[in-house]
Amino acid sequence: MIKVLIVDDSAVVRQILSSELSKVRDIEVVAVACDPFVAREKILKHRPNVITLDLEMPRMDGLTFLGKLMRYMPMPVIVVSSLTPKGSDMAMRALELGAVEVMCKPGTAYSVGDLSRTLVDKIRSASLARCVKREEGAADEQEPAPRPLLRTTHKILAIGASTGGTEAIREVLATLPSNTPGIVIVQHMPEHFTAQFAQRLNGICQMEVREARNGDLVAPGLALLAPGNHHMVLRVSGAQYYVELTEHPPVHHQRPSVDVLFHSVARSAGANAVGSILTGMGADGAAGLLAMREAGAHTLAQDEQSCVVFGMPKEAIKLGAADEIVPLKKMAGKLLDALQTKELMTAR
């Protein structure tokens, strides 16, 4: 049984979420709290497995509370945020502080019930997450100097992630040099948040990072992030790669889907690609990574110890889709090694 604490200043939201979650056999709402001070007492008393957390609350805002929680008593937190530009920025900051998921709060509290199915899936995913204590200011630590890539070429690097992936992607991309071959990324994330995520990455990376637009060319020094609620597909025209965005049905209940991207990379780039599957719940991306490997791409999966949720990489490894199993801290270096090897093989 997954024990859940709901923290929200709206009595209506608390009641609706409690009512919806009570319909699920493997989830129990053990308590609700109207602000972080009440939440602290409920945490000590009930020891929940997952917390749902609003960000704008009286007495202490959700971000401050989240930062304290992750320093002293880390546990899986799902942030429920508004869709305003300010709310999106706050949700991205929450991910940096250690939240494992973010959800869009609808404009009116009475429509929160519409999110119950998605919330249930995220609670199940979050309950499996590994949370570690974070030192104050850990999210703002200076990133290591980018490792040089001696030669560049029109190769493709494809990355897929879900739960815990925002921080994993940040750690990988922040270490890559500005002349890294073009990157295409799928991170399971709600619509409206992907642009903000890309903007934050762009501020800390040597490469340009932005949300993909239909028809964007994939070029060295550029990383394209699939927008929320759109699949991203890699296409090739002559010697140029570009992306196409679609609204085809979800795959593995996800849009964007890592499998959709990886299968397209296998078809369009073949042995010219390198693929990496990072932390996340479920099996999205496993079959696509296998297709990439079978097409000649070099493939990597994040190891269990460094994953927040060892789901997607585990499924890929079980399929035999990964050439290498790599800790997150070594992932960027291994990707550069693989890209360099691809370049040298092409030059022969």
Averages of pLDDT over each 10 residues, the chain, 348 residues: 94 89 94 95 96 89 92 92 63 87 66 72 90 64 46 77 95 95 95 90 96 96 96 91 96 96 96 96 96 97 96 97 97 94 57
Q: Are 325 and 307 in contact (CB under 8 A)?
A: no
Catalytic-labelled residue, pool 88, 125, 162, 257: 162
Among residues 35, 81, 82, 188, the one annotated as catalytic is 188
188 part of the active site: yes
CB 269 within 8 A of CB 299: no
If we measure between CA atoms, which residue out of 236, 235, 228 comes closest to residue 257?
Answer: 228
Residues 6 or more apart in contact with residue 151 via CB below 8 angstroms: 340, 343, 344
Q: Please answer whether residues 158 and 261 qualify as being in contact, where contact means their C-beta atoms are separated by less than 8 angstroms.
A: yes
pLDDT, position 135: 66
C-alpha–C-alpha distance, residues 145 and 142, integer Å: 9
pLDDT (0 to 100) of residue 341: 79
Task: Report pLDDT for 140.
Answer: 46
CATH 3.40.50.180 location in the chain: 156-347
Q: pLDDT value at position 104?
A: 77
Give the integer Cα–Cα distance in Å for 48 and 69.
13
Catalytic entry in 8, 284, 303, 323: 284
| Helix runs in 56-127, H state only | 62-72, 85-97, 116-126
- pLDDT reported for residue 76: 95
Q: What is the CATH number of domain 2-138?
A: 3.40.50.2300
pTM, two decimal places: 0.85
Q: What pLDDT is recorded for position 153?
A: 45
Q: Write the CATH number of the domain with boundaries 156-347.
A: 3.40.50.180
Q: Please tell me whether residue 300 adopts helix, strand or coil conformation.
A: strand
Q: Where in the chain is the domain with CATH 3.40.50.2300?
A: 2-138
DSSP, residue by residue, 130-185: ------TTGGGPPPPPPPP-S---S-EEEEEE-TTHHHHHHHHHTTS-TTPPEEEE
